[in-house]
Amino acid sequence: MKILHTSDWHLGRSLSGKSRYNEFSLFLEWLATTIEEHKIDTLLVAGDIFDTTTPSNKAQALYYRFLCRISKSCCSNVVIIAGNHDSPSFLTASKELLHELNVFVVGSATENLEEELIILSKEDAPRAIICAVPYLRDKDIRTAKLGETIDDKNANLVNGLKEHYDKICLLAESRRQQLETTETGHIPIIAMGHLFTTGGKTIDGDGVRDLYVGSLAHIGKDSFPSSINYLALGHLHTPQPVGSAEHIRYSGSPIPMGFGEANQEKKVVLIEFENAKPIIKELAVPCFQRLISITGSFEDIQTKIHQLKNENSSAWLEVEYTGKDVLSNLHEMLIEILSESFMEIIQLKNRQIMNRIINAVTQNETLDDLNPEDVFVRCLDAFEVPNEDREELITSHKEILKSIHEDDLNAD
């Protein structure tokens, strides 16, 4: 049985207001073709299918069109779990309909663990057991207790995550004992998850949100049951194994989510099993839209742009001017240089202008210039709250903001 692991599509995401539907469409076309060429039996999508809980009609159309296409291919099953960006109720609204296409969707944790357990069969014989664990929200794995400290909350989150995987894997092991025969051979247990593991690599500006409030955003690889033969993870955008555990992996996002990921090779993961031992191969995802960062003096920037024009580049550019002269008309100057090219400036940073603004007296500052955390800290300053009392107050404020952010707008 051949299994393909991907995650973090973030369908509908834009880059500094620039639509990326063409990239998403090209990726899904490539993915469908790859599934057919490699004769993939099962596709695993480990969360963050959409970028927001209320995806646009275009994003939804890409999603459903792709699933319809591969349901007619060699791919017998698709397993999709929700990530922290996804709306559980939106994903599960089409659950019954998609089940007819052998697409299994798990949007949120429930009391019935059987709903997270999926038996994959080929030629009417069980071939793998999937523990499809979605993104586990704080309320799914931790019960608030009166008087608990921040460290208590963090410890309870770790224990809650570990306990959930322990329970679902025990159920999978029990089911495996019932299903295994001489004909089936050893049936692998494949788990899924959308979380942050200890030591996971991130990149500045990748948009990866903290999953939990406080110091705990990570769970160690040793917290997962040893019965898992492969763990397909989502959330981190950099493709990577978790430490030395090659069978615990992030596939990463399929397209760069920002300029910080521009030079990163994107991948999906192909897994086959020999007596439940995974044989892992990474497949490189093509670059569908080149992103290039240019930093330096005006002359440096001009030279690089001319070089790219000579290459007939169609890249999207992030330009940061670091020269000493103050160029108030920098944008107009660059637009003129870019004329008769296929390139666009997506982000422009003028270091001198920025420094002038930062150093200026901000007497006309408004709420639009501040984020919620800034406002809260200023409130603490205004009421002269002692430093020793601030940590718990700031943590509580973050918890409230997070609960608002995770409110499922599609739920009843």
**pLDDT for res 113:** 92
Q: How far is 319 from 347, CA to CA, in rounded Å?
A: 6
Location of structure tokens 């999709």: 80
Length of the chain (residues):
412
From 58-67, 106-115, 333-342, 360-369, the region with the lowest mean pLDDT: 360-369
Instruction: Indicate whether 31 pLDDT > 90.
Output: yes
307: enclosing H helix or E strand: helix 298-310
Which of residues 321 and 365 earns the better pLDDT score? 321
The topology under which CATH files domain 291-359 is Double Stranded RNA Binding Domain (3.30.160)
Q: How far is 233 from 136, CA to CA, in rounded Å?
A: 13
Q: How far is 280 from 199, CA to CA, in rounded Å?
A: 21
C-alpha 365: how far from chain center: 34
Instruction: Indicate whether 386 pLDDT > 90.
Output: no
**pLDDT for res 383:** 67
The topology under which CATH files domain 3-284 is Purple Acid Phosphatase; chain A, domain 2 (3.60.21)
Domain boundaries, the chain: 3-284, 291-359, 367-405
**pLDDT for res 361:** 43
| Mean pLDDT, residues 263-287 | 94
Most confident of 143-147, 264-268, 271-275, 376-380: 264-268
What lies within 8 Å, CB to CB, of 236 at 6+ separation is 8, 196, 200, 201, 202, 208, 250, 252
Domains 3-284 and 291-359 share a fold: no
Biggest alpha carbon distance in the chain?
78
388: enclosing H helix or E strand: helix 387-405
Task: Give the 3-state secondary structure of residue 116.
Answer: helix
What percentage of the chain carries pLDDT values higher than 70?
86
Instruction: Indicate whether 231 pLDDT > 80.
Output: yes
Confidence label for 238 from pLDDT (cuts 50, 70 and 90): very high
Q: Are 245 and 200 within 8 A, CB to CB?
A: no
